Amino acid sequence: MDLKKIETFNEKNDLEKTNKIVFEDYKSILNSNMNNEFFFKDLLVKCYEKKLIDDENLKRINYERIELLKVQLKYYTKDESSSVLEEDAEKILDGIDYTISIYLKELYEEDKRLKNLNKQNILLDKLKNEELSFMFQNGFKIIKKKREESRLLFLKVQNDKLKTDNLSYNDTIDRGMGIFFTTYNDFFTPQEAPCSIDYQLFIGDIGGDIGCVGIEYIEKYLKTLDLENEFCRNFNIQEISEVLNGYDRESEFLLINIFQLIFINSIGRIICGKNLNNLNITESDRQNIYNKLKSFSYDDLEVYFVKCSETCVDMLNIQNKELKKYMNMAASDSVKHIYNCIKLNKLEKVFISFIDDSENQFIQYIDKPKLSNSKFRAINEKIRNSVETDNKIEIIKNNIESLQDIVDMLEADCLFESEYDEYFKTLSEIEVVLLFKHMKDFDLLNICEKEWQYKFKKYLFNLNIEKYNLIVKYSEKLKII
């Protein structure tokens, strides 16, 4: 090989090495935590620090950036010579940087999708060779497109909204988000998101993005909310309401995430080997979950939860790949809190039980009609004239039905001594509860004024504790009409 060929070979080899180093530096920049709001400036600074951009290019970019600001300010003042507040000028400059960032990120995402097969430094080449005005124009087009796509997605979210009483959820969808689409300024301040969003998504940082603002924030918020709604719509709204109510009776006022509560209860049902036709987690279910998970390490618990999430996907026949991905992220995200709760054996607010409404509902009892005075006196006389206790009880059972008539009969001295006890033994459960409720007005714990009250008190205290407690419980819920 002659000397000239050797030199050419060495030059080519050196160039390949240089390109490889540049590409590796370029990759390391993009793999670092880039600031989404100021992606353009962040990229520029890091490329300059790595000496991927020289002073000449940096000066050119800064010059073009200021020229863009001048153009924007002319539009802002409608080509008048009026001055602009420094604060407003800074916001407009930030808007320029944000718009260019949108364009560069779009290229970066496309590059990632293609896995950079050509090993090109696409963004670096753009910074070196493309005018900022061109980047700005294309970024503005992308923002307009994202705005329209987000508007359509917002209409879908409104249409698919869960029928829940949670105020933060309803206010965000019904009022807070709609403000954005009527007040968003995509030309001067696209980095701002004028809206009121109180409802918290389960994965709060929307995928871990740093500085996700403006149309990107709205876009990602709506996409995530739509995924959460899609999952929740697999369940009856009454089941969802039961879970929320079980979490807190005043859940409508809390800043909670509905998806989180429903998703974790679904995982709990799967851990217990149950179907998802119902979302309730009983106390025994919770104990079962604790027994199964208490020996898990943190890493094992995370693997197990992701596996349960995949089972949930299969059971609900979920086809949406983005939702599957989000559910697995949610499963991993849940582990830290659940792991700590397992260690403390405090799972009541994690795997939620429905509230037994029967505990709080009143039982209405419609009393039978009271006997006429003449008929009541005749029956009382007949009871007194009977010698056998069984005969007395039979007369009472066949003729006296209303609570007031029973009380009047007992206070009319128709029964004596052991006859009271024999009669009380024949009472139905509801009759015992009715008499007990009546006696509470006279304070059962004080000395009874009437013999029958004393006898009835003695009868009650001779019952087993479970039966006595049931009588007390039902008497508190009973309403006599």
Over the chain (481 residues), what is each successive 10-residue block's mean pLDDT? 46 44 62 78 89 92 96 89 87 96 89 58 88 97 98 98 95 95 95 92 62 90 97 96 93 94 98 95 95 96 98 97 97 96 93 77 76 89 88 88 88 87 87 82 56 85 82 76 67
State the pLDDT at residue 434: 85
State the pLDDT at residue 367: 80
- List b or e across 147-168, with b for residues whose CB sees 16 or more CB atoms inside 10 angstroms: beebeebbeebeeeebebebeb
State the pLDDT at residue 60: 96
* Exposed / middle / buried, residue 428 (Cβ in 10 Å: 0-12, 13-18, 19+): exposed
* Strand 478-480 with 363-365, pairing: parallel
Domain end call among 342, 357, 372: 357
| DSSP at 446 | S
**Is 302 contained in some domain?**
yes
CA distances from 436 to 404, 444, 470 (A): 13, 8, 11
Nearest-CA neighbor of 180 among 219, 142, 232? 219
Domain end call among 90, 114, 141: 141
Cα(102)–Cα(88) distance, integer angstroms: 21
**Is 329 contained in some domain?**
yes
Residues 120/93, Cβ–Cβ less than 8 Å: no
**Is 242 contained in some domain?**
no
Nearest-CA neighbor of 36 among 169, 153, 209, 163? 209
Output the six-digit token pair for 465: 């504790």
Per the DSSP assignment, residues forming a β-bridge with 480 are 365
Listed in sequence order, the residues at least 6 apart from 210 whose beta carbon sits closer than 8 Å to its beta carbon are: 33, 34, 35, 36
Domain end call among 141, 175, 202: 141
State the pLDDT at residue 439: 77
- Regarding whether 116 and 82 lie in a shared domain, the answer is yes
State the pLDDT at residue 14: 40
Residue with tokens 């008929």, as numbered in its chain: 375
As for how many domains the chain has, the answer is 4
State the pLDDT at residue 364: 72
Output the six-digit token pair for 79: 């080509």
Listed in sequence order, the residues at least 6 apart from 393 whose beta carbon sits closer than 8 Å to its beta carbon are: 422, 423, 426
Helix, strand, coil percent content, the chain, rounded in steps of 5: 65, 0, 30
CA distances from 252 to 245, 261, 265 (A): 9, 14, 19
- Regarding whether 392 and 326 lie in a shared domain, the answer is no
**Is 251 contained in some domain?**
no
Cα(179)–Cα(201) distance, integer angstroms: 19
Residue with tokens 């490889």, as numbered in its chain: 20
Residues 35/210, Cβ–Cβ less than 8 Å: yes
**Is 471 contained in some domain?**
yes
* Exposed / middle / buried, residue 16 (Cβ in 10 Å: 0-12, 13-18, 19+): exposed
**Is 339 contained in some domain?**
yes
Listed in sequence order, the residues at least 6 apart from 395 whose beta carbon sits closer than 8 Å to its beta carbon are: 379, 382, 383, 386
Listed in sequence order, the residues at least 6 apart from 291 whose beta carbon sits closer than 8 Å to its beta carbon are: none
* Exposed / middle / buried, residue 389 (Cβ in 10 Å: 0-12, 13-18, 19+): middle
- Regarding whether 226 and 153 lie in a shared domain, the answer is yes
Output the CA angle 95-99-102, nearest 5 degrees.
140
Output the six-digit token pair for 232: 């929740």
Residues 300/342, Cβ–Cβ less than 8 Å: no
* Exposed / middle / buried, residue 452 (Cβ in 10 Å: 0-12, 13-18, 19+): buried
- Regarding whether 12 and 137 lie in a shared domain, the answer is yes
- Regarding whether 195 and 120 lie in a shared domain, the answer is no
Q: Rg of the chain over CA atoms, in angstroms?
A: 38
CA distances from 268 to 93, 241, 264, 309, 342 (A): 50, 17, 6, 10, 13
**Is 226 contained in some domain?**
yes
Residue with tokens 């992220």, as numbered in its chain: 329
Cα(22)–Cα(28) distance, integer angstroms: 10
Cα(348)–Cα(331) distance, integer angstroms: 18
Residues 122/104, Cβ–Cβ less than 8 Å: no
**Cα torsion at 50, 56, 59, 65 (round to 10°)?**
-90
Q: Which residue type does 30 have?
A: L
- Regarding whether 221 and 167 lie in a shared domain, the answer is yes
- Regarding whether 300 and 209 lie in a shared domain, the answer is no
End-to-end CA distance of the chain: 114
- Residue 404's Cβ-side half-sphere holds a number of Cα atoms within 13 Å equal to 11
- Regarding whether 307 and 211 lie in a shared domain, the answer is no
- Regarding whether 285 and 162 lie in a shared domain, the answer is no
State the pLDDT at residue 47: 87
Range of the domain at 193: 143-232
- Residue 383's Cβ-side half-sphere holds a number of Cα atoms within 13 Å equal to 26
- Regarding whether 43 and 106 lie in a shared domain, the answer is yes
Residues 228/258, Cβ–Cβ less than 8 Å: yes
State the pLDDT at residue 5: 46
- Regarding whether 320 and 440 lie in a shared domain, the answer is no
- Regarding whether 350 and 405 lie in a shared domain, the answer is no
**Is 299 contained in some domain?**
yes
Question: Sign (positive/negative) of CA torsion 71, 73, 78, 82?
Answer: negative
Strands, E assignment, 125-165? none
